[in-house]
């Protein structure tokens, strides 16, 4: 039989099972994230296992491998063939190992959802911890809050390590050095190339970073009546120092009385990407038993896209809301006539690029004037400070991404080493945050991504680089000659994003996708330029 015909027949049969099961699994996971219960956790585990078993089928995998890829005469079919091969390959592991890995992942995720830190016998939410680290000058309370944020790490660390071991066992079964190396290949990346890029960014940003840290240490020492040498993690603005403290623009004041949902809806409607129907399905406010983080979920690849947040009336959550709806509009406006297997973003990093691009806008003077109601003169007055906040955010978050990428690589290379020490060695290297004296606890395990979104964090940094490239292209090629406010008001933005960024889905590998959108491959120069000079 003609390879193209045989492959299409296989895909048709495959999707008859996969498509409805995928939707059922997504809905169950949404229920677990928003409610949390033993029953729904068991349901998610069962559905994830059933889903994985499909891709563990050795006969199906053998059939896909037997097809001559060069004889598949349709580029669309050829792309689906490659994606199916990758999906089947990573599941060709012993059934018992697969089932245990899935069950443990779901169990850890649920532990994060229901866990609340404790200070003086009282439970405290993540939002409350962030509020203390944002506002309090009481160093004792700040230290207690920071330590409370790490308690979940002590709760889950042994299970996370067991999960890492099982993932490594699966990868070595398939002939890979470890899970990290295998997972990068599934993402159409290589360890060598990724870390060449990260090393290069670290080197190019070193002088900027040291200047920023010297200024920050002096500022924190003055604020807390101590010396720069005495600065510790709890003196910083948040739990992981993954974003800087607010700058002179003092942006939180502009959001204290704002309906963030309405603000986001107004913005996305103006650029031609309305989100009202997506807001109607969202779960945006905190409560007990609910996931304390934020994410976007495409339930069915047909338009049922859902966002979870825990909104507070401040700039951080306004930015997070735009970030998550950046993911959401990507999913909503992908060409739904594409084959099901291609009806997703080109890559994890490409959807992160759009989300990060949108999240930057809360620091734009034009956006603040038009959507947060900031007086035009005031918005213009704070333009320089707001731009510096963007640069600081890019710089701080980049160094945090380096921590996560380098630590995760080490964790999978050898999960038996002293990871508590490795974590702080890497934190001190890239963030210049000094470890607490005498502390020997699994603080690394308090970051949920290491358990439930493995080999993911580097995509945030690659996404930032792509976001800078997309923004540059928008300004120079799409909005050339228009006022700066066009970036946040013109339907041309949504039209270009839809046509060049969202609509192709996963039809192209990510590098081809980026060339299709901007006319050139990934160029870090745009991101480096956005870091500016101090």
Closest CA to 352 of 390, 333, 326: 326
d(CA 151, CA 125): 12
Q: Report the 10 Å Cβ neighbour count for 309.
A: 23
Question: What burial class does residue 313 get, using C-beta atoms within 10 Å of its C-beta: 0-12 exposed, 13-18 middle, 19+ buried?
Answer: middle
Q: Looking at the domain assignment, is residue 324 inside a domain?
A: yes
- Supply the DSSP symbol for 497: I
Could you tell me if 22 and 54 are in contact, meaning their C-beta atoms sit under 8 angstroms apart? Answer: no
Which long-range contacts (C-beta less than 8 Å, at least 24 apart) are formed by 181-186? 181/412, 182/90, 183/90, 183/454, 183/455, 184/455, 186/86, 186/89, 186/90
Task: Tell me the C-alpha to C-alpha distance, in Å, between residue 170 and each of 88, 198, 412, 479.
Answer: 13, 27, 12, 49
Which tens digits make up the pLDDT trace of 445-494? 999 999 999 999 999 999 999 999 999 999 999 999 999 999 999 999 99
d(CA 38, CA 226): 47
Which tens digits make up the pLDDT trace of 405-423? 999 999 999 999 999 999 9
Query: Cα dihedral sign for 112, 355, 28, 11?
Result: negative
Could you tell me if 243 and 359 are in contact, meaning their C-beta atoms sit under 8 angstroms apart? Answer: no
Q: Looking at the domain assignment, is residue 305 inside a domain?
A: yes
The domain boundary residue, chosen from 68, 92, 116? 92
Q: Looking at the domain assignment, is residue 491 inside a domain?
A: yes
How high is the pLDDT of residue 298? 98
Could you tell me if 478 and 497 are in contact, meaning their C-beta atoms sit under 8 angstroms apart? Answer: no
Could you tell me if 82 and 11 are in contact, meaning their C-beta atoms sit under 8 angstroms apart? Answer: no
Question: What burial class does residue 298 get, using C-beta atoms within 10 Å of its C-beta: 0-12 exposed, 13-18 middle, 19+ buried?
Answer: buried
Q: Looking at the domain assignment, is residue 488 inside a domain?
A: yes
Q: Looking at the domain assignment, is residue 368 inside a domain?
A: yes
Q: Looking at the domain assignment, is residue 41 inside a domain?
A: yes
Number of compact structural domains in the chain: 2
Task: Tell me the C-alpha to C-alpha distance, in Å, between residue 399 and each of 197, 332, 360, 450, 482.
Answer: 13, 32, 17, 17, 34
Could you tell me if 151 and 117 are in contact, meaning their C-beta atoms sit under 8 angstroms apart? Answer: yes
- In the chain (534 residues long), the average pLDDT of successive 10-residue segments reads 93 98 97 89 95 96 95 96 96 95 95 93 94 95 97 97 98 97 95 95 94 96 96 95 88 94 98 98 94 96 97 95 98 97 97 97 94 92 87 96 98 98 98 96 97 95 97 96 96 98 97 96 94 72
pTM of the predicted protein model: 0.94
How high is the pLDDT of residue 181? 97
Q: Looking at the domain assignment, is residue 136 inside a domain?
A: no
Q: Which residues pair with 123 in a beta bridge?
A: 118
**End-to-end Cα, the chain, rounded Å:** 64
The domain boundary residue, chosen from 61, 92, 123? 92
The domain boundary residue, chosen from 57, 73, 92? 92
d(CA 30, CA 530): 36
d(CA 25, CA 139): 45
b/e string for 101-128 if b means 16 or more Cβ within 10 A?
A: bbbbbbbbbbbbbebbbebeeeebebeb
H/E element, 117: strand 117-119
- Collapsed DSSP state (helix, strand, coil) of residue 522: coil
Domain containing residue 289: CATH number:
1.10.1370.30
Q: Which two tokens stand for residue 50?
A: 């059933």
DSSP line for 408-458: HHHHHH-TTS-HHHHHHHHHHHHH-PPPPTT--S-GGGGSTHHHHSTT-TH
For 117, phi and psi rounded to 5 degrees? -65, 165
How high is the pLDDT of residue 533? 61
d(CA 25, CA 500): 30
For 473, phi and psi rounded to 5 degrees? -65, -40
Could you tell me if 37 and 110 are in contact, meaning their C-beta atoms sit under 8 angstroms apart? Answer: no
Where in the sequence is the domain holding 67, given as residue range(s)? Answer: 1-92
d(CA 402, CA 429): 10
d(CA 50, CA 18): 10
Q: Looking at the domain assignment, is residue 61 inside a domain?
A: yes
Q: Report the 10 Å Cβ neighbour count for 86.
A: 15
How high is the pLDDT of residue 332? 97
Closest CA to 238 of 157, 309, 314, 186: 314
> In 349-429, where do the E strands start and end?
none
How high is the pLDDT of residue 152? 97
């Amino acid at each position: 039989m003609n390879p193209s015909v045989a492959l299409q027949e296989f895909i048709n049969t495959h999707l008859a099972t996969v498509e409805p099961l995928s939707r059922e699994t997504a809905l169950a996971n949404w229920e677990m994230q928003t409610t949390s219960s033993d029953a729904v956790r068991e349901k998610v585990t069962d559905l994830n296992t059933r889903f994985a078993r499909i891709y563990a089928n050795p006969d199906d995998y053998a059939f896909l491998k037997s097809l001559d890829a060069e004889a598949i005469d349709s580029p669309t079919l050829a792309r689906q063939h490659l994606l199916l091969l990758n999906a089947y390959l990573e599941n060709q592991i012993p059934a018992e190992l697969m089932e245990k890995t899935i069950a443990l992942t779901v169990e850890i995720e649920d532990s994060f959802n229901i866990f609340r830190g404790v200070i003086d016998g009282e439970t405290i939410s993540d939002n409350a911890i962030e509020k203390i680290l944002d506002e309090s000058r009481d160093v004792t309370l700040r230290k207690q809050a920071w330590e409370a944020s790490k308690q979940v790490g002590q709760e889950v660390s042994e299970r996370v390590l067991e999960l890492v071991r099982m993932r490594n066992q699966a990868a070595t079964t398939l002939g890979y050095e470890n899970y990290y190396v295998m997972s990068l290949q599934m993402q159409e990346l290589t360890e060598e190339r990724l870390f060449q890029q990260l090393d290069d960014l670290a080197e190019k940003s070193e002088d900027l970073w040291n200047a920023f840290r010297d200024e920050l240490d002096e500022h924190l020492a003055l604020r807390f009546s101590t010396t720069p040498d005495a600065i510790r993690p709890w003196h910083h603005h948040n739990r992981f120092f993954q974003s800087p403290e607010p700058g002179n623009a003092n942006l939180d004041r502009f959001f204290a009385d704002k309906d963030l949902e309405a603000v986001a809806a107004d913005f996305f409607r103006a650029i031609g990407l309305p989100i009202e129907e997506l807001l109607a399905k969202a779960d945006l406010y905190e409560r007990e038993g609910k996931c304390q983080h934020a994410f976007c979920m495409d339930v069915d690849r047909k338009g049922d896209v859902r966002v979870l947040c825990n909104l507070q009336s401040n700039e951080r959550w306004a930015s997070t809301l735009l970030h998550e709806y950046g993911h959401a509009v990507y999913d909503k406006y992908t060409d739904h006539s594409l084959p099901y297997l291609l009806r997703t973003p080109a890559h994890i990093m490409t959807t992160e690029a759009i989300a990060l691009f949108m999240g930057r806008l809360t620091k734009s003077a034009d956006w603040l004037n038009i959507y947060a109601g900031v007086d035009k003169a005031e918005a213009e007055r704070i333009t320089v400070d707001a731009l510096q906040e963007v640069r600081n955010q890019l710089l701080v978050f980049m160094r945090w991404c380096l921590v996560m990428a380098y630590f995760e690589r080490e964790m999978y290379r050898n999960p038996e080493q002293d990871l508590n020490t490795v974590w702080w060695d890497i934190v001190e290297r890239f963030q210049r945050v000094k470890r607490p004296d005498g502390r020997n606890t699994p603080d690394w395990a308090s970051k949920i991504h290491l358990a439930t979104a493995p080999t993911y964090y580097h995509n945030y940094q690659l996404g930032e680089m792509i976001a800078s490239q997309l923004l540059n292209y928008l300004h120079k090629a799409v909005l050339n000659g228009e006022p700066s406010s066009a970036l946040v008001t013109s339907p041309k933005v949504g039209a270009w994003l839809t046509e060049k960024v969202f609509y192709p889905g996963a039809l192209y590998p990510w590098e081809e996708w980026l060339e299709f959108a901007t006319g050139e491959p990934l160029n870090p120069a745009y991101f480096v330029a956005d870091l500016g000079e101090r």
